[in-house]
Amino acid sequence: AQKVTQAQTEISVVEKEDVTLDCVYETRDTTYYLFWYKQPPSGELVFLIRRNSFDEQNEISGRYSWNFQKSTSSFNFTITASQVVDSAVYFCALSEAGRGYQKVTFGIGTKLQVIP
């Protein structure tokens, strides 16, 4: 069975601070995908990133960066110089890569509030 744990249910930071959202996953699959999604107050899920389990390189996209460590089954997400528009619920998620489709298992989400 697959499981995604996001231990931080809510985080508050002051604008311009850096913040890291933690994600720990469990899977028996040898190949899998990891995801992060953003759900702003409007409710629509926004795709941020997908990583293949073969690729442990960290990734940076603007103010966003992701740290994938297979040894600790973690896929953490850092926002640098946070902004009020970053306020949202962030979901870490996992799917098996070998199915031919993505049956995604989501974590419970971390609610991030960025205070001006």
Partner 1 sequence: GAGVSQTPSNKVTEKGKYVELRCDPISGHTALYWYRQSLGQGPEFLIYFQGTGAADDSGLPNDRFFAVRPEGSVSTLKIQRTERGDSAVYLCASSSSGRDEQFFGPGTRLTVL
Please pick, from the candidates 1, 41, 42, 116, the single residue that binds partner 1 as defined by CB under 8 A.
42
Instruction: Quickly count: other Cβ atoms within 10 Å of residue 58's Cβ.
Output: 13
Find the binder of partner 1 among 1, 28, 101, 116 (CB under 8 A): 101
Q: Does 116 bind partner 1 (CB under 8 A)?
A: no
**34: contact with partner 1 by CB under 8 A:** no
Looking at the Cβ atoms of 88 and 93, the one nearer to partner 1 is 93
Q: Let me know: does 102 contact 12? Beta carbons within 8 Å.
A: no
Question: Among residue numbers 46 through 65, which ones bind partner 1 (CB under 8 A)?
Answer: 46-47, 50
How far apart, in whole angstroms, are the C-alpha atoms of residue 28 and residue 3? 10
In terms of CB distance, is 43 or 116 closer to partner 1? 43
Contact 33, 94 (CB under 8 A): yes
Q: Are 88 and 41 in contact (CB under 8 A)?
A: yes
Neighbours of 69 (CB within 10 A): 12
> Rule CB under 8 A: is residue 80 a binding residue for partner 1?
no
Which residues are at the interface with partner 1 (CB under 8 A)?
4, 37, 42-47, 50, 91, 93, 99-109
